[in-house]
Amino acid sequence: MYIRNVKIIEDAFDQIKEATGISSTEEIVTTFIKAEEQNYSLYNYVNMLNSEIDMIEEQNRNIEQEIRSREIQGEMSEAQKQEAQDKLNEDISQVKANMAEKEE
Q: Are 20 and 28 in contact (CB under 8 A)?
A: yes
Domain assignment present for residue 11? The answer is: no
Q: How much is the pLDDT for 30?
A: 93
Give the DSSP H/E element, type plus range, for residue 28: helix 25-103
Neighbour count for residue 18 (Cβ, 10 Å) = 9
Domain assignment present for residue 9? The answer is: no
Angle between helix axes 2-20 and 25-103 (nearest 10 degrees) is 70
Domain assignment present for residue 45? The answer is: yes
Domain assignment present for residue 80? The answer is: yes
**Least-confidence region, from 12-16, 18-22, 28-32, 67-71:** 67-71
What are residue 98's phi and psi, to 5 degrees?
-65, -40
How many domains does one find in the chain? 1
Domain assignment present for residue 93? The answer is: yes
Burial 20-54 (b: 16+ CB within 10 A, else e): eeeeeeeebeeeeeeeeeeeeeeeeeeeeeeeeee
Q: Are 16 and 28 in contact (CB under 8 A)?
A: yes
Domain assignment present for residue 2? The answer is: no
Structural domain of 56: 24-103
Nearest C-alpha neighbor of 25 from the set 34, 33, 17: 17
Domain assignment present for residue 61? The answer is: yes
Domain assignment present for residue 5? The answer is: no
Q: For 34-92, write each residue's pLDDT tens digit.
A: 999 999 999 999 999 999 999 999 999 999 999 988 887 777 777 787 888 898 899 89
